[in-house]
């Protein structure tokens, strides 16, 4: 038969940079569009791949392999989304196949497995041998006719299979298991069901003048339907959510769909609930509690256009939403928008890019915008919308700074429950107010040390000190989860003088219970919320004033709205201030302003007691007065001088592996080569190589090199040259590139 062929281009979800040409029979052609999923032979397997181009590519070989099957009715992405992926792959210097893998739902990258298939003569032969003498996998083969080779593990079985296939009793063939079918129903977990006393009263609110102005500007932008980026700069509790909801309503009324990115849905169920009660059905939620199958169902619902509103964490930026008109990035300063693994993209930055590619209105919302975003506002690249006060018009909470150095006796300094704080708590409780206490360390004692020989008990995988959890009496690593029972004696010198010290949230909780035995006290951190729905339960009870004092970690900071809090105690406000990271001040400032913002929501006032060892530091001082502009001015001077972002560009090269010596050698080699390959006139600083501040993590030794420049092209070109020279690959360890890194430790 003389079939006519056409040529198509395919990309696979593999960490490779190529796009490959294939032949396709003409009669298939009308079923293929960009984004169609097909099966094609690749590297001795049949793999799912995606059509990314119709027609031949330059310089392709004459002999092309043929695609074997067209898999789905509907394409997985359109041209604009493909453009976004190509751009991201180039910008973040990751293979296009890896970008594709990240963007598409897990389960779409199916590939064939080898199967053993019983032939007719094989059946005849095997049926003559007694069933008992056959290994179990062969019995199964007799029953079913086919068995995946992966089930055949033992030596005897394997050699039997080899023999049998030589004789023609068994054929080994690459086969694909049948694809999953069916559109799932909407998955709304328990935790997102609105409870009676929490219903959304927002329908009835009258917008404040500032909210109305913001909504008017957004309405105009949405009607124009071209790229319009906004920063919704609203102080904590200013009612940003209401503005988002109005913008979404507008988008829907124009026949468009809306995507809202949030840092983590499971941590802020309240936001999702407000969306649900306002818009009812037609909402798709992507949160971390979904299984892969549920994610795939939601993904299909979104792709088919059945959901008008999508709420998702960072990976939602790649969802194929038809007729998208609006992207909202809530709490845009949050670090969780940056992915940290093999494809280290930043969803906030991609939101702006996607807006440009698809002519969308993009809203970045925050009370403490990242410096990156604020510089863009100053340069006129992003429009600024202000919500300068809270709806009730009351002042922002008043903050009192307390110098921990001046606190005596030392005992109070040690558990951070200072006499002033205890007094403030008592006063608040007398007035029937609620108290929130913030400390960014969980556990009981954060240090276990021998007082005879000085040995600190560290995680064998991560080299950080282990935290003592009193209830279970074990020592745990908060990086990798390593746990051991607390030893009675020092593992180095056998002395019995092991001392547990340092303060975690559990210790604070225990001291509080002693101090206030009559009071309802709870803790909100990763340990107290391990159980399903316990997070939601604690948040609900706190909201309903069934808890008087809530002590918590970062979890307490996330955009919760608890009207009853009248005192926020920050136990040690400078605990992350001295991290070896140029953003340490920014993170401290943001966290302090956000924590402080949990109080004073209902009416006048709200008090914050900010305890710190570093009361003069500008991040502390300016957080106490909620002075974002002041902080921006101060911090940007320092960054500009040193060409740190947003006034310069960073690329972080990370070298990680289990062999310490090899990691070090590789890092030194990359450092040397960087200095050789850097042209004399290129304004690039090469910092390192040096062991990473966290020099061991999850059992891997870590080194790093930071390339820094005021010119984005210079720093990119240097990395491209390193790559072209093959310097950035290594055996037995990983060398990864992080463009615009957020985590430098
Ligand atoms: P933000 O996200 O800016 O910190 P929220 O959106 O959580 O603030 O709003 C804070 C509180 O103000 C919420 O309880 C919300 O219902 C309420 N609120 C918002 N807009 C108004 C308004 N126009 N009038 C009265 N209350 C409002
Ligand atoms: Zn010791
Ligand atoms: Zn560890």
Q: Report whether CATH 3.40.50.720 matches the domain 649-739.
A: no
Position 185 confidence tier, pLDDT thresholds 50, 70, 90 = very low
Across 466-495, average pLDDT? 85
**Cα–Cα distance for residue pair 121/471, rounded to 1 Å:** 65
Q: How far is the CA of 699 from the centre of ligand 2 (A)?
A: 24
Residue 739: is its pLDDT beyond 80? yes
Region 44-48 average pLDDT: 81
pLDDT of residue 191: 40
Q: For the purposes of burial, counting CB atoms within 10 Å of the CB of 269, is it exposed (0-12), middle (13-18) or buried (19 or more)?
A: buried
Helical pair 120-128 and 136-144, crossing angle rounded to 10 deg: 130
- Torsion region of 327: left, alpha or beta (phi above 0 gives left; psi -120 to 50 gives alpha): beta
The per-residue b/e assignment along 616-645, b for 16 or more CB within 10 angstroms, e otherwise, is ebbbbbbbbebbbeebbebbbeebeeebbb
Q: Nearest to residue 568, comparing CAs of 587, 546, 549?
A: 549
pLDDT tens, position by position, 498-512: 888 778 888 888 888
Under the banding of pLDDT at 50, 70 and 90, the label for residue 592 is very high
In sequence order, the β-bridge partners of residue 708 are 650, 685
Order of strands, sheet of 607-612, starting from the edge strand that comes earlier in the sequence: 398-403, 607-612, 565-570, 434-438, 549-552, 521-524
Number of other CB atoms surrounding residue 399 within 10 Å? 23
The count of residues in the chain is 745
| Closest Cα to atom 9 of ligand 1 | 239
Q: Model's pTM, two decimal places?
A: 0.85
Question: Could you report the per-residue pLDDT of 78-88, keeping only the tens digit for each?
Answer: 889 999 999 99
Which residue has better confidence, 732 or 273? 732
Per-residue pLDDT band for 255 (boundaries 50, 70, 90) equals very high
Question: Are 609 and 571 a contacting pair, CB within 8 Å?
Answer: no
Q: Return the closest-CA partner of residue 173 out of 299, 68, 36.
A: 68
**Residue 112 neighbours by CB under 8 Å, 6+ apart:** 39, 45, 46, 47, 174, 175, 176
DSSP 111: B
Per-residue pLDDT for 14 more than 50? Answer: yes
Name the closest-CA residue to atom 12, ligand 1. Answer: 239
Average pLDDT, the chain: 84
Q: How far is CA 235 from CA 351, 598, 632, in A?
A: 22, 11, 15
pLDDT score, position 332 = 96
* DSSP 8-state symbol, 456: B
Give the distance (Å) from ligand 1 centre to CA of residue 278: 14
CA distance 498 to 694: 25
Considering the domain 194-387 in this protein, what is its CATH number? 3.40.50.300
> 138-172 burial string, b = 16+ CB within 10 Å, else e?
bebbbeeeebeeeebeeeebeebbeebbeeebbee
CA of 495 to the centre of ligand 2 (A): 5
Q: In angstroms, rounded to a whole number, what is the distance separating the alpha carbons of residues 170 and 168?
A: 5
Over the stretch 563-578, which tens digit does the pLDDT of each residue have? 888 899 999 888 888 7
Do 7-103 and 649-739 show the same overall fold? no
Strands 170-175 and 483-485: unpaired
Backbone angles phi, psi at 155, to 5 degrees: -55, -50
State the Cα–Cα distance between residues 425 and 607, nearest whole angstrom.
11
Q: Which residues surround ligand 3, an ion (CB under 5 A)?
A: 459, 461-462, 477, 479-480, 482
More confident residue, 183 or 103: 103
CA of 494 to the centre of ligand 2 (A): 6
CA dihedral 185, 189, 195, 201 (to 10 degrees): -70
Cα-to-centroid distance, 488 and ligand 2 (Å): 11
Q: Judge whether residue 21 has pLDDT over 80.
A: yes
The whole-angstrom separation of Cα 164 and Cα 118 is: 9
At 217-232, the pLDDT tens digits run 999 999 998 999 999 9
pLDDT digits (tens, 9 = 90+) for 691-724: 988 888 888 999 999 999 999 999 999 999 999 9
**3-class DSSP string for 572-626:** CCCCCCCCCCCCHHHHHHHHHHHHHCCCCCCCCCCEEEEEECCCCCHHHHHHHCC
Give, as one character, the DSSP assignment of residue 192: G
Please tell me the CATH code under which domain 7-103 is placed.
3.40.1440.60
Atom of ligand 1 nearest to the CA of 206: 23
Whole-number Å distance between alpha carbons of 244 and 247: 5
Among 46, 72, 52, smallest CA distance to 9 is for 52
201 CA: nearest ligand 1 atom: 16
Closest listed ligand to the CA of 454: 2
Confidence bin at 651 (pLDDT 50/70/90) = very high
Ligand 1 pocket: which residues have CB below 6 Å? Answer: 202, 205-208, 211, 234, 236-242, 391, 559, 561
The rounded distance, in Å, linking the Cα atoms of 373 and 107 is 35
**Axis crossing angle, helix 155-166 with helix 136-144, rounded to the nearest 10:** 40
Instruction: Dig out the tokens for 496 from the structure.
Output: 């019995």
Look at residue 194 and tell me whether its pLDDT is greater than 60.
no
Residue 124 banded pLDDT, cuts 50, 70, 90:
confident
Q: Domain limits of the chain?
A: 7-103, 113-175, 194-387, 398-441+503-638, 649-739
> Which are the contacts of 193, defined by CB distance < 8 A and separation ≥ 6?
273
Q: How far apart are CA 666 and CA 727, in angstroms?
A: 9
Is residue 235 within 8 Å of residue 597, measured between CB atoms? yes
Nearest to 365, CA basis, from 224, 559, 554: 559
Q: What share of the chain is helix, strand, coil (3-state, %, to 5)?
A: 35, 25, 40
Q: What pLDDT is recorded for position 675?
A: 93
pLDDT the model gives residue 184: 36
- pLDDT, residue 410, reads 67
Q: What is the CATH number of domain 398-441+503-638?
A: 3.40.50.300
- pLDDT for res 668: 95
Provide the pLDDT for residue 177: 57
> Ligand 1 centre and the CA of 249: distance in Å?
17
């Amino acid at each position: 038969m003389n079939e006519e062929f056409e040529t198509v281009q395919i990309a696979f979800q593999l960490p490779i940079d190529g796009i490959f040409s294939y032949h396709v029979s003409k009669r298939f052609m009308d079923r293929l569009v960009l984004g169609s999923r097909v099966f094609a032979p690749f590297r001795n397997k049949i793999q799912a791949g995606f059509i990314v181009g119709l027609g031949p590519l330059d310089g392709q070989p004459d002999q092309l392999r043929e695609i074997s099957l067209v898999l789905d009715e509907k394409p997985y992405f359109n041209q604009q989304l493909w453009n976004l992926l190509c751009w991201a792959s180039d910008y973040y210097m990751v293979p296009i196949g890896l970008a594709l893998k990240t963007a598409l739902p897990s389960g779409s990258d199916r590939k064939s497995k080898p199967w053993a298939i019983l032939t007719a003569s094989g059946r005849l032969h095997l049926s003559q041998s007694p069933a008992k003498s056959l290994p179990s996998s062969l019995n199964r083969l007799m029953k079913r006719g086919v068995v995946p080779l992966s089930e055949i593990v033992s030596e005897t079985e394997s050699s039997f299979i080899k023999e049998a296939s030589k004789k023609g009793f068994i054929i080994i063939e690459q086969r694909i298991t049948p694809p999953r079918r069916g559109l799932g129903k909407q998955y709304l977990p328990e935790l997102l069901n609105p409870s009676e006393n929490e219903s959304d009263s927002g329908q009835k609110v009258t917008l404040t003048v500032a909210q109305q102005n913001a909504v008017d500007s957004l309405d105009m932008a949405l009607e124009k339907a071209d790229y319009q980026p906004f920063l919704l700069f609203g102080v904590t509790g200013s009612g940003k959510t209401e503005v988002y909801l109005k913008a979404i309503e507008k988008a829907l009324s124009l026949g468009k769909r809306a995507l809202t990115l949030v840092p983590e849905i499971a941590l802020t169920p309240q936001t999702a609930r407000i969306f649900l009660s306002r818009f009812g059905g037609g909402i798709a939620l992507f949160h971390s509690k979904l299984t892969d199958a549920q994610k795939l169902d939601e993904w299909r619902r979104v792709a088919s256009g059945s959901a008008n509103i999508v709420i998702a964490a960072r990976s939602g930026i790649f969802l194929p939403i038809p007729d998208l008109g609006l992207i909202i990035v809530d709490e845009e300063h949050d670090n969780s928008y940056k992915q940290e693994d093999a494809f280290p993209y930043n969803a906030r930055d991609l939101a702006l890019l996607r807006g440009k590619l698809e002519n969308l209105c993009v809203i970045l919302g925050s009370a403490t915008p990242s410096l990156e975003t604020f510089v863009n506002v100053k340069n006129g690249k992003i429009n600024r919308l202000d919500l300068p006060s809270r709806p009730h018009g009351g002042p922002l909470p008043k903050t009192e700074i307390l110098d921990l150095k001046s606190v005596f006796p030392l005992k109070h300094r040690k558990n951070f429950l200072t006499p002033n704080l205890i007094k403030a708590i008592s006063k608040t409780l007398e007035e029937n107010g609620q108290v929130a206490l913030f400390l960014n360390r969980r556990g009981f004692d954060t240090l276990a040390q021998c007082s005879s020989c000085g040995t600190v008990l560290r995680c064998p995988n991560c080299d950080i000190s282990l935290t003592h959890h009193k209830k279970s009496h074990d020592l745990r690593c908060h990086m990798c989860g390593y746990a051991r029972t607390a030893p009675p004696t020092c593992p180095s010198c056998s002395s019995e003088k092991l001392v547990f010290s340092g303060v975690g949230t559990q210790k604070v909780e225990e001291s509080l219970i002693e101090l206030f035995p009559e009071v309802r006290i709870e803790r909100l951190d990763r340990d107290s919320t391990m159980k399903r729905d316990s997070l939601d339960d604690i948040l609900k009870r706190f909201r309903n004033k069934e808890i008087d004092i809530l002590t918590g970690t970062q979890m307490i900071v996330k955009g919760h709205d608890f009207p009853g809090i009248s005192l926020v105690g920050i136990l040690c406000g400078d605990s992350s201030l001295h991290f070896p990271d140029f953003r340490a001040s920014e993170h401290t400032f943001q966290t302090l302003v956000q924590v402080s913002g949990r109080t004073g929501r209902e009416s006048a006032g709200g008090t914050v007691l900010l305890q710190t060892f570093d009361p003069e530091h500008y991040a502390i001082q300016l957080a106490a007065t909620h002075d974002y502009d002041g902080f921006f001015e101060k911090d940007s001077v320092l960054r500009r001088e040193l060409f740190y972002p947003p006034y310069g560009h960073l690329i972080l090269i990370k070298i990680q592996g289990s062999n310490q010596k090899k990691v070090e050698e590789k890092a030194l080699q990359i450092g040397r080569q960087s200095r050789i390959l850097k042209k004399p006139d290129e304004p690039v600083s090469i910092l390192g190589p040096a062991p990473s501040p966290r020099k061991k993590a999850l059992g891997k030794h870590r080194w790093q090199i930071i390339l820094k420049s005021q010119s984005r092209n210079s720093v990119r070109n240097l990395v491209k040259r390193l790559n072209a020279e093959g310097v950035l690959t290594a055996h037995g360890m990983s060398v990864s590139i992080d463009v615009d890194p957020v985590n430098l430790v």
